[in-house]
Amino acid sequence: MMTSRRNFIKKASAAGAAVMAAPAFFGQRASAAPLKEKDAATPFKLKYAPGFGMFHNHAGNNILDNIKFCHDMGFRAMFDNGLMNRPAADQVKLTDGLRNLGMDFGPFVLYADFGVTSFVLNKPEVREMLIKKVNEGVEVCKRTGAKLALMVPGRYDENLHRDFQTANVIDNLRYCCDIAEAGGMTIVLEPLNTLHDHPGLFLNGIPQAYSICRAVNRPSCKIVEDIYHQQITEGNLIPNIEAAWSEIAAFHCGDNPGRDEPTTGEINYKNVFKFIYDLKYDGVICMEHGVSGGNTKEAEARVIQAYRECDDFEL
């Protein structure tokens, strides 16, 4: 145990040095003020949530080492899209590790099959499949304490009018919500862009997701707003967040183009984060993006520096 602990301290120390040095590795960004040692441990204003493995060059592959590293860097949440695919013991280890450090956990993926029509159909076999999935998600929630389960309504049907498909999605979600609410779970719907990443999907916009949540009219049916996807689909980010605020339960982020860390694309994340903060948001912002500088310690350090820059807004 002592050897493991000493090794981790060495990793964390090296990470702190890399974070402080990060601007020097990135040409035009070198003018950014280096982080002071105390800043590495200062909690961010919002709960930005790295994915497990995002900082593997610093923290290795151990679940608990990853959690500890992220906490030491000031993050107060993490996310794991693949939680349901982990062995039950690892699910518990992961969420217990977060809980022990007072960290939050973002939505896990419950259902996201991009290749089939599902929610848009009024068919018993589809409903049975969805109900089975939600029951599985509830078991994960009971085991881990995770509360937000992400669902994507699948592809649209070219042979059925879109309004009928919308009605079917609403009906299917009500069946799912009956089970989710009984198990203490909230379903979060994710609209995805169809212009670049996911052509053919039914749910692609925040106004569309908002109208569906309002029609379902259940506290267990909300939205996860993916800022990257919505910049591509519709832009108008801050006004749409404000308009849909009552139905948003979580966020994903990533810059556009490229889907890498904030500051690498066109989105003014400092302003977006400040707006969310001013709305008293206390949930998770999942860092669902790549690392622009590649698979190196320096590139990982630059990701942390980018969030420090965007989190440096006036209160």
Return all residues near 100 (Cβ < 8 A) that are at least 6 apart: none
Return all residues near 175 (Cβ < 8 A) that are at least 6 apart: 127, 130, 131
Q: What one-character DSSP code corresponds to residue 105?
A: E
Return all residues near 299 (Cβ < 8 A) that are at least 6 apart: 25, 291, 292, 293
User: Please, where are the H alpha helices in the chain?
Assistant: 2-21, 37-41, 56-59, 63-72, 88-100, 124-144, 162-182, 206-216, 227-233, 237-243, 269-278, 297-310
In sequence order, the β-bridge partners of residue 222 are: 188
Per-residue pLDDT of the chain (315 residues; tens, 9 = 90+): 433 434 433 444 444 444 544 433 333 343 344 444 445 679 999 999 999 999 999 999 999 999 999 999 999 999 999 999 999 999 999 999 999 999 999 999 999 999 999 999 999 999 999 999 999 999 999 999 999 999 999 999 999 999 999 999 999 999 999 999 999 999 999 999 999 999 999 999 999 999 999 999 999 999 999 999 999 999 999 999 999 999 999 999 999 999 999 999 999 999 999 999 999 999 999 999 999 999 999 999 999 999 999 999 998
Report the CATH number at residue 141. 3.20.20.150
Phi and psi at residue 306, to the nearest 5°: -60, -40
Nearest C-alpha neighbor of 206 from the set 179, 227, 187, 220: 227
For the chain, the C-alpha Rg in angstroms (whole number) is: 20
What's residue 39's pLDDT? 53
Per the domain annotation, does 219 fall within a domain? yes
Per the domain annotation, does 287 fall within a domain? yes
Which range of residues forms the domain containing residue 34?
2-310
Q: Is 256 left (phi over 0), alpha (psi -120 to 50) or beta?
A: beta
Rounded distance, CA 53 to CA 72, Å? 15
What's residue 41's pLDDT? 74
User: Are 29 and 301 in contact, with CB atoms under 8 Å apart?
Assistant: no
Residue 314 catalytic? Answer: no
Per the domain annotation, does 115 fall within a domain? yes
Tell me if residue 131 falls in helix, strand or coil.
Answer: helix
Per the domain annotation, does 149 fall within a domain? yes
Per the domain annotation, does 205 fall within a domain? yes
- Burial class of residue 290, CB neighbours in 10 A (0-12, 13-18, 19+): middle
Strands 248-253 and 221-226: parallel
Per the domain annotation, does 315 fall within a domain? no
Identify the active-site residue in 128, 190, 266, 300: 190
Residue 181 catalytic? Answer: no
Identify the active-site residue in 225, 247, 261, 288: 288
| pTM for this model (two decimals) | 0.88
Rounded distance, CA 269 to CA 307, Å? 9
CA distances from 280 to 47, 115, 277, 303 (A): 12, 37, 5, 25
Name the one residue in this structure whose structure tokens are 């068919």.
123
Per the domain annotation, does 288 fall within a domain? yes
Nearest C-alpha neighbor of 221 from the set 233, 209, 234: 209
Number of domains present in the structure of the chain: 1
